[in-house]
Amino acid sequence: MIRDTVIEMLSDALRRAREDGALPPLEYQDPAVERPQNPEHGDYASSLPLKMARAARMSPMAIADILRERLPMREEIAAAAVAPPGFINFTLDTRWIMQQVGTVLSEGNDFGRGRSGAGVSVQVEFVSVNPTGPVHVGHGRGAVQGSAIANVLAASGYSVQREYYVNDAGSQMDAFFQSVHARYLQALGRDAAFPSEGYHGAYLVELGAQLAGEYGDRFAGAAGEESVREIGEIGMARMLDSIREDLERIDVRFDRWFSERSLFTDGTYEQALSRVESNGYTAEREGAVWFTGTELGDERDSVLVRRTGAPTYFASDIAYHYDKFLGRGYDRVINVWGADHQGHFPRMKAVVAALGVDPERLQFILVQLVTLRRGEEIVRVSKRTGDIITLSEVVSEVGPDACRYFFLARSADSQMDFDLDLARKEAPDNPVYYIQYAFARIASILRNARDGGIDPDDTTEDVDYDALTEEAEIRLMRTMLRFPEVVESAARNLEPHHLPHYAYELATAFHDFYTRHRVLGEAPRVTRARLRLAQAAGVVLRNALTLMGMSTPEQM
């Protein structure tokens, strides 16, 4: 990345200045390279002199001059200028910039990929909706965020595993099984009491009817535990199928669906708890087993095993994280959780520490809640009443691409409004279409070129990129060159919301170029070069959209 080049140049200059005594020997400082917002300040800028001034007991301008004189030359950089009060501004060489059209094209799908995560395994766990009901919009946001985080990590060289934790154990499953059984019996015309803690959603009435239609009264005979369990298992499998289908519509897929129940059948649960116990973080009180998280900085101790002998969901989580770190040995684990679980974060950090694992290896992404609106009216999301807006409904209304774009464009930790009326009404005006339209326009130009007997993919012919000298052309290419840095930064900060904003900017740069200049029908030398430029823009747009999980339509 070019940014790394600039950092290298500064580090070299700093070392030389120390060696020849122009600057005092100070401890290492980050060269503080950033992208200035004002284009007059160049492509990159460093405020290192300002930061060093105090410790060096010198004026920032003097330090800047000393460093600038010692900067090694690089072909990418045309100029490095000192600017008050003590910046060093770097400007890319225009001809070098345009040569990069060829680089982008030859790297193709790999353009934007990095190696910062090479050799590191990371697990991203997200969605993990209880298999007791459909995925609603709030879950959809977490799904989109989680999948995009996994995508940018993979693009940065990490070995990524995408996982869905299936809560198929515990008391809520019992309630679900009984609910399914009751709806099933009701569908058969039997008198069945609905459990008070049951799931009242209409989707279970449908499921009950469906199961009744398929299985008749096979599970209706004895109202014993067995038939409840059997029909319940079938119901859960159906729920999971529909959850998987809903998520696939928005390009969310998993490497593994991890069963909570398996933790109890394969011995993980016992191993995990005995490790916490042998490390001295359990205590028996009032007939229950507690995790003494307060010793590790948690707010309060928590129950692991109830007085009844049944483990809490928290005990499952300990076993699950034991498996993540000590069983499967991921270097990093990222949990994308909804805001309604935020109270659980510090406890899980404490648990990981209690297992003897560095808690820094566990990170949480807090995905804030989605407020759903239809115009002025706020739509309440409640599983109890069954009055829920499902992800599936939203996707049907606004389409998968718009759904992903909107969920991705807002940072995870701020609450967002999702106005269904607006999203639907303004669909043609959407940023989504703006970006995809840029891609379609490029595809159209390439089609026209082929019709006119020019093969854009013919790499045997030399292209003279010096033919690209227009401002809009350079601006477009500059924007493309930022892409690897956007990906890297999204991965480093686990902030995928930069991607849609970048894609929008890139589309703008292309639309601007497109309206100012013609590609086809110019002098052959110019047409050749512009065709490649447009093609390269298409490559970067496609790479960006792919990371976002959005489609790349060649025609709209």
The yes or no reply on residue 393 touching RNA (CB under 7 A) is: no
> Whole-number minimum distance, CB 212 to RNA, in Å?
28
The reply on whether position 497 binds RNA by CB under 7 A is yes
Find where tokens 């609905």 sit. Answer: 194
212 or 350: whose CB is closer to RNA? Answer: 350
Phi, psi of 168 (to 5 degrees): -100, 15
388 binds RNA (CB under 7 A): no
Residue whose token pair is 């999971």: 240
Nearest to 132 by CA among 163, 165, 164, 175: 175
Is residue 504 within the footprint of RNA (CB under 7 A)?
yes
Contacts (CB under 7 A) with RNA, residues 34-63: 34-38, 40-42, 45, 47, 50-51, 53-54
Check residue 460 for interaction with RNA (CB under 7 A). no
Six-digit token string for 370: 């989605």
Mapping DSSP onto H, E and C, the string for 442-502 reads: HHHHHHHHHHCCCCCCCCCCCCCHHHCCCHHHHHHHHHHHHHHHHHHHHHHHCCCCHHHHH
Q: Which is nearer to RNA, 219 or 337 (CB)?
A: 337
**From the CB of 520, what's the least distance to RNA, in Å?**
4
Which stretches within 216-298 are classed as H helix?
A: 225-249, 260-265, 268-278
Among positions 13, 98, 336, 416, the unique one binding RNA when judged by CB under 7 A? 416
Q: What is the dihedral of CA 453, 458, 460, 466, to 10 degrees?
A: 90
* Cis peptide bond N-terminal to 85, omega within 30: yes
**From the list 18, 113, 374, 511, which residue makes contact with RNA (rule: CB under 7 A)?**
511
The number of residues in the chain equals 556
CB 424 → RNA: shortest distance, Å? 13
Q: Nearest approach, Cβ of 409 to RNA (angstroms)?
A: 6
Three-class DSSP labels, 173-220: HHHHHHHHHHHHHHHCCCCCCCCCCCCCCHHHHHHHHHHHHHHCCCCC
Contacts of 317 (CB under 8 A, 6+ apart): 344, 348, 351
Q: Is residue 65 near RNA by the rule CB under 7 A?
A: no
Binders of RNA among residues 133 to 192 (CB under 7 A) are 167, 170-172
**Residue 321: which of 271, 278, 375 has the closest Cα?**
271
Q: How many secondary structure helices (H) and strands (E) does the chain include?
A: 19, 15
Of positions 391, 409, 503, 526, contacts RNA by CB under 7 A: 409
Closest CA to 104 of 488, 478, 509: 478
Which of 226, 413, 421, 471 is close enough to bind RNA by CB under 7 A?
413
Q: How far is the CB of 145 from RNA (least distance, A)?
A: 11
Residue closer to RNA (CB basis): 82 or 122: 82
- Token pair 């398996």 is found at 262
Figure out which of the listed residues 24, 72, 85, 267 binds RNA, where binding follows CB under 7 A: 85
Residue 542 in the binding site for RNA (CB under 7 A) = no
Give min distance, CB of 24 to RNA, in A. Answer: 17
Nearest distance from C-beta of residue 216 to RNA, angstroms: 32
The C-alpha atoms of residue 53 and residue 522 are separated, in whole angstroms, by 53
The stretch near RNA (CB under 7 A) out of 8-16, 205-213, 361-369, 382-390 is 361-369
- Give yes or no for a contact between 112 and 488, defined as CB atoms under 8 angstroms apart: no
Q: Which is nearer to RNA, 108 or 287 (CB)?
A: 287
Told to check if 196 binds RNA by CB under 7 A, we report no
Q: Which is nearer to RNA, 395 or 526 (CB)?
A: 526
Residues in 92-131 that interact with RNA by CB under 7 A: 130
Q: Report the alpha-carbon distance of residue 428 to residue 404 in Å, rounded.
A: 16
Instruction: Please say which residue, 194 or 313, places its beta carbon nearer to RNA.
Output: 313
Q: Which stretch binds RNA (CB under 7 A): 203-211, 227-235, 269-277, 338-346?
A: 338-346
Residue among 99 and 508 whose Cβ is closer to RNA: 508
The residue (of 37 and 460) whose beta carbon lies closer to RNA is 37
Q: Does 478 bind RNA (CB under 7 A)?
A: no
Among the listed ranges 114-122, 151-159, 223-231, 333-341, the one in contact with RNA (CB under 7 A) is: 333-341
**Least distance CB 31 / RNA (angstroms):** 11
Residue recorded with tokens 């009180």:
285
Q: Does 291 bind RNA (CB under 7 A)?
A: no
Strand (E) or helix (H) holding 88: strand 87-92
Specify the residue for token string 């030399």: 462
Smallest separation, CB 341 to RNA (Å): 5
Is residue 29 within the footprint of RNA (CB under 7 A)?
no
The distance of closest approach from Cβ of residue 198 to RNA in the complex, given in angstroms and rounded to an integer, is: 13
Q: Which of 103, 415, 459, 469 binds RNA (CB under 7 A)?
A: 415
Residue 519 in the binding site for RNA (CB under 7 A): yes
- Between residues 465 and 504, which has the closer beta carbon with respect to RNA? 504
Q: Does 264 bind RNA (CB under 7 A)?
A: no
Cβ atoms of residues 158 and 115 within 8 Å: no
- Residue 271 vs 430, nearer CB to RNA: 430
Which structure tokens are listed for 372? 């759903």
* H-assigned helices in 284-344: 313-322
3-state secondary structure of 378: strand
The verdict on 314 binding RNA (CB under 7 A) reads yes
Say what angle helices 202-215 and 171-187 make with each other, to 10 degrees.
60
In the region spanning residues 418 to 447, those forming contacts with RNA, defined by CB under 7 A, are: 426, 428-429, 431, 433-434, 437, 440-441, 443-445
CB nearer to RNA: give 162 or 347.
347
